[in-house]
Amino acid sequence: MLIDLTGRTALVTGSTQGIGAAIATGLARAGARVAVNGRTASTVEEAADRIRSDVRKADVVPLAADVATEDGAAHVAEVLPELDILVNNLGIFGSRPALEITDEEWRRYFEVNVLAAVRLTRAYLPGMKARSWGRVQYVASDSAVVTPVEMIHYGMTKTALLAVSRGFAKEAAGSGVTVNSVIAGPTHTGGVEDFVYELVDRDLPWPEAQREFMRLHRPQSLLQRLIEPEEIANMVVYLSSSYASATTGGAIRVDGGYVDAILP
């Protein structure tokens, strides 16, 4: 299957590292013009340079902005007045005992993980509908379906993204625009390495720490390993293409079989 996104412009929020960086690279490799987003100009430029190094003739737009704020979202819309592909990847996570999560933390997680995506969808979906083509995606998590007791505030936001995705898919019905969420399973990123070491012995070498984490905290994974970011990116690139024209309103799983259900 040859995916060609030449002529399409994409924005991937929170794309300076991890899953977001892999998605941005994958879209660039498929020929899309890709806006790389993060909060600081230096970090964004470094991420853009890495994509240019990995992908010959990549068309990358460094876009430094905190899209979790109204001003940041407005700046993005000013720099990129039209988009073909919006990937709402930005997210924060961390462990916290359920009864110790403060009101401030609940609000922060909702504003960063959910409201930022809603604002950008609100900004770009009307133009996509008017042009009769577009792709909006939300990077959710297995935590949307299997709420982890050690971070229910994070799980709540990912469940909310499934509802947001389904709702905006209905708003886009019949327009040629598809809206989906991607349920990512436990994925190997730098941030996840830190999280794993919060839950297992820090003296363990990484391969052993990963196995111990999966055994103790994610035993239902059928993959029995952490997913690589590129594996999530492959699904996002596919959903961004014309091949996925009949896939909308879905919660598409790239979870390594972690969610023990036939449907999300």
Least-confidence region, from 6-10, 129-133, 191-195, 223-227? 191-195
Task: Please provide residue 19's backbone torsions phi and psi, each rounded to the nearest 5 degrees.
Answer: -60, -40
Residue 49 pLDDT > 90, yes or no?
yes
Residue 207 pLDDT > 70, yes or no?
yes
Q: Give CA–CA dist 119/91, Å, rounded.
A: 14
Confidence of residue 264 (pLDDT cuts 50, 70, 90): low
In residues, how long is the chain? 264
For the annotated catalytic residues, the residue numbers are: 154
66: three-class secondary structure by DSSP = coil
Residues of the chain with CATH 3.40.50.720: 9-187+228-254
CB-CB contact of 225 with 214 (8 Å): yes
Question: What is the reported pTM?
Answer: 0.94
Residue 188 pLDDT > 80, yes or no?
yes
Predicted local distance difference test score (pLDDT) of residue 195: 82
Count H helices and E strands in the chain, helices first: 9, 7
Q: Give CA–CA dist 148/186, Å, rounded.
A: 12
The type of residue at 118 is V
- The two structure tokens encoding residue 101: 């999560």
Q: 9-187+228-254: what fold? A: Rossmann fold (3.40.50)
CA distances from 251 to 42, 56, 112, 138 (A): 34, 32, 20, 9
Who contacts 115 (Cβ-Cβ below 8 Å, separation ≥6)?
A: 68
Confidence of residue 255 (pLDDT cuts 50, 70, 90): very high
- The two structure tokens encoding residue 99: 């009864």
Q: What is the DSSP letter of 83?
A: -
Q: Give CA–CA dist 3/135, Å, rounded.
A: 14
CB-CB contact of 221 with 257 (8 Å): yes
Q: Which single residue is written with the structure tokens 């390993």?
A: 225
Q: Which single residue is written with the structure tokens 């964004």?
A: 44
Average pLDDT, the chain: 96
